[in-house]
Chains A and B, each alone.
Chain A
Amino acid sequence: SYKLTQPPSVSVSPGQTASITCSGDNLGETFVSWYQKKSGQSPVLVMYQDSKRPSGIPGRFSGSNSGNTATLTISGTQAFDEADYYCQTWATSTVVFGGGTKVTVL
């Protein structure tokens, strides 16, 4: 079955840039979405179709996808951005989530 691999954790200082990677075979040939999940809350879509931001998501969130790696970038990271982030794609007639990356703003 298809697998998406994310680093378990990423640490970033306030105001700096956090990059979260998501790797999978030929991932660049399909669309990737990203979700933010805070403890006790429902997930929130922060990026879809690789690089499109939903309404209400700040411009400091951006995305890319090429080759075997998709990346979610948070520029000027704020304490409010501390959360788990999950990538997701559609492959072999199933939805696949990455294992999630915990972003800590130190």
Chain B
Amino acid sequence: EVQLLESGGGLVQPGGSLRLSCVASGFPFSNYAMTWVRQAPGKGLEWVSAITGNGRITFYADSVKGRFTISRDNSKNTLFLQMNGLRVEDTAVYYCAKEAYSERPDYVDYWGQGALVTVSS
């Protein structure tokens, strides 16, 4: 059974940093690209970032480029999202998601339960 367990969410002040983690199980982690998707309160789904299965290529939405960094540790089946320079508009539930293929994002076949990030003073 595929499981994706996010952690690291919480309350942070504007300009602060937070690191999300996602521990994966139930599938060969390094064989699949991984993605972060967020949903702000009352808003729709917004793609944030993705990384290929081997970790060599990363992709970012314009809204987070230069502030967020996606990475993965295939030896520990763990995906990360380092978020710096956080803004109030980054407040959202962040979902860790497994892509269907290795080479690039295509479609997500499994989702985590989500981690709430609140940016507020």
Contacts and interface: CB of A to CB of B under 8 A. Distances in A.
B59 A97 contact: no
Interface magnitude class on chain B: 20 to 34
Contact of A94 (B44, B61, B111): B61
Contacts of B114: 42
Nearest to A95: B47
A90 B106 CA distance: 6
B53 to A, nearest CB: 16
A96 B47 contact: yes
- What is the predominant secondary structure among interface residues of chain B facing chain A? strand
Contact of A42 (B46, B62, B111): B111
B44 A95 contact: no
B113 A42 contact: yes
Contact of A48 (B45, B46, B100, B113): B100
Interface magnitude class on chain A: 20 to 34
B112 interface: yes
B24 to A, nearest CB: 14
A91 to B, nearest CB: 11
A94 B60 CA distance: 7
A38 B17 CA distance: 29
Contacts of A99: 44
Name which of A31, A45, A98 has the most chain B CB atoms within 10 A of its CB: A45
Given A95-B47, A100-B45, A90 B104 contact: yes
